Structure 1
Amino acid sequence: MKGADAEDRALAELVSAGHRLLARNYRIPGGELDLITQQVGVFVFSEVRQRRSATYGSALESVTPRKLALLRRAALSYLLREHGREDLPCRLQLISIEGPTSTGTLSITPIE
């Protein structure tokens, strides 16, 4: 449940910033979007990563070019399937939690 706990914390942060949840764990073959929200007409696709320590690198470093391509593909799939268009305003972001889920440092970084 660690991943779900990190996603819960990330979602709470987004909601407090005025986001509206549209989908959670949206899956397509080969990819998944952790959180899909909307804020002021912009679709926001969030990848949530938690790192208890920097031993294996930061959360941002864990988003490889392959993972980024899968996130892009999943985001475009969502827009097309759910809204009939791929050209809607959107952004991809990484929500990272460094340290324990409940007390670690949460940061949001645009990844595209």
Structure 2
Amino acid sequence: MTASRQAIGQYGERCAVRFLTDAGLVIVDRNWRCPTGEIDIIARDGDTVVFCEVKTRRGERFGTPEEAVTTVKAGRIRRLAAAWLAAHPGHRRREVRFDLVAVRVGRSGAAQVDHVPAAF
């Protein structure tokens, strides 16, 4: 991954965290990694554990952020969520939800953030 793409991704994740916390969610973990992958944001929305995939785009040349979460990607995130829950037994009995946070970055101005609860 190029430094520019990595910087855009990190910016998108910061925007997503700000948006989610402003919406009342509590961030529990960020960029959680295990040998099979990474979950961008894990949050709590009341009694629900929310696993968030953040997709940041500068344009739609490679598709929209929503199109980037394929069934294969969604399946991987679900497996990663199961691994996170196994590693954090205090959260196992809670409801679970999988959200998408789509961040669109223009040439100027603030990024546009769209939160799609239960996206996959």
**Shared fold (TM-score, shorter chain, > 0.5):** yes
Please show how residues 8-87 of structure 1 align to structure 2 within 5 Å.
8-83=14-89, 86-87=92-93
Secondary structure class of the residue paired with 1:23: strand
Displacement of 1:84 after TM fit? Answer: 5.8
**Paired letter, 1:11:** V
Displacement of 1:30 after TM fit? Answer: 2.2
Displacement of 1:99 after TM fit? Answer: 2.6
Distance 1:55 1:66 in 2: 21
CA RMSD of aligned residues (A): 1.8
Distance 1:48 1:13 in 2: 12
Displacement of 1:86 after TM fit? Answer: 4.6
Q: Tell me, which stretches of 5 or more residues in structure 1 are unaligned?
A: none
Secondary structure class of the residue paired with 1:22: strand
**TM-score normalized by structure 1?**
0.89
Q: Tell me, which stretches of 5 or more residues in structure 2 are unaligned?
A: 1-6
* 8 A contact 1:27–1:33 mirrored in 2: yes
Give the aligned partner of residue 111 of structure 1.
119
Displacement of 1:39 after TM fit? Answer: 1.4
**Paired letter, 1:78:** W
* 8 A contact 2:59–2:105 mirrored in 1: yes
Secondary structure class of the residue paired with 2:88: helix
Which runs of at least 4 in structure 1 moved beyond 4 Å after TM superposition?
A: 84-87
Distance 1:76 1:86 in 2: 9
Deviations 1:39-71 (A, max 9, x none): 111101111111111111111111122111110
Aligned residue pairs total: 112
